[in-house]
Amino acid sequence: MTTALRIESLRKSYVTPEGERQTVVDLPALTIERGEQVALHGESGCGKTTLLHLIAGLHAPDAGRIFVAGEEITGKGESDRDRLRGRCVGYVFQSFHLLPAYTALENVRLAMHFGAGEDEARARALLERMGLADRLHYRPGALSLGQRQRVAVARAVANRPALLLADEPTGNLDPRNAAAALALLRETAEEIGAALLLVSHDPHLLASFARCEAFSDLARAGADA
């Protein structure tokens, strides 16, 4: 099994409005193998989302190294980080973050455009796999919350990423839709052999993961903050 994510001595801090520097992420090490599914939980504001942003290369860390699919994302310039993110990282957000002006199909195709390259047949197949065959040309505003999250999952896996990041992916869904969306996410990750790092507060959801990590156990920041 190859490594999908490896983190070494990662540190990120922000300057507070009062002018003080506050460490948000201080993570000595974290490794997730390809195909592995990991749940991460922690208190609100403890730095989980910042960690996901760092892994995705949306933020640059103050120190430390992050390897995604064997490539060090922290050592790259912004454009190269964008390219690596598009190709190797899929991201599912709590608020879905679908682009409202685009249809379900276009949302998936757009992700492909910035990642592995467009493949309309695969985009259609993914949405059909998500049970959205009759909603391909619907814009997000015309879809239910559950359907939107399924489009978001399809978009996240469209480029067959090595690593899937999911930030409270079921937080806005009712229990039935949440269970369905989670099942789809996990099944699809398994199908494409992607590692999954999922952030959640939901104890039932967390209990379903073989590997469940507490952010405070992983990080030194909790103690420092």
Partner 1 sequence: MKAGLGLLVRRSLREHAVSTAITVASVGLATGLVLAVFAIQAQSQRAFSAGPLGFDAVLGARGSPLQLVLNAVFHLETSPGNLPWALYEAIEQHPQVERAIPYAVGDNHRGFRIVGTVRDLFEPIDGREAAVLRVAAGGRLFDPARREAVIGSTVARETELAVGDTFHPHHGLVFDASARHDDAYVVTGVLAPSNTPADRVLWIPLDGVYRMSGHVLRGSGEAHTAEADSTIPDAHKEVSAVMLKLAAPQAGFFLDQTINKQGKVATLAWPIPAIMADLFDKLGWAVRVLGLVAYLVVLVAAGSIVASLVNTMNERRRDFAVLRALGAHRRTISAAIVLETASIGAAGALLGFGVYAAIFALARTLVHDETGVVLDPWAWHPVFALAPASVVLLSAAAGLVPARLAYRTDVATHLAPPG
Q: By CB under 8 A, is residue 94 in contact with partner 1?
A: yes
State whether residue 150 is helix, strand or coil: helix
**Mask for 9-48, x = binds partner 1 (CB under 8 A):** ----------------------------------------
Q: Is 36 or 168 the residue whose CB approaches partner 1 more closely?
A: 168
Cβ-based nearer residue to partner 1, 81 or 135:
81
Footprint of partner 1 on residues 101-140 (CB under 8 A)?
A: 101-102, 106, 109-115, 118
Residues in the chain: 225
Degrees (nearest 5) of the Cα angle 114, 5, 70? 75
In which order are the strands placed within the sheet that holds 163-167? 89-92, 163-167, 195-199, 37-41, 211-214
Q: How many helices (H) and strands (E) does the chain have?
A: 9, 9
Q: Which is nearer to partner 1, 85 or 186 (CB)?
A: 85
Enter the tokens of residue 180.
């369905």
Helix 145-157 to helix 175-192 angle, to the nearest 10 degrees? 10
* Residue closer to partner 1, measured from CB, 51 or 189: 51
Contact residues toward partner 1 (CB under 8 A) are: 49-50, 53, 56, 58-59, 78-79, 82-83, 85-87, 91, 93-95, 97-102, 106, 109-115, 118, 155, 168, 171
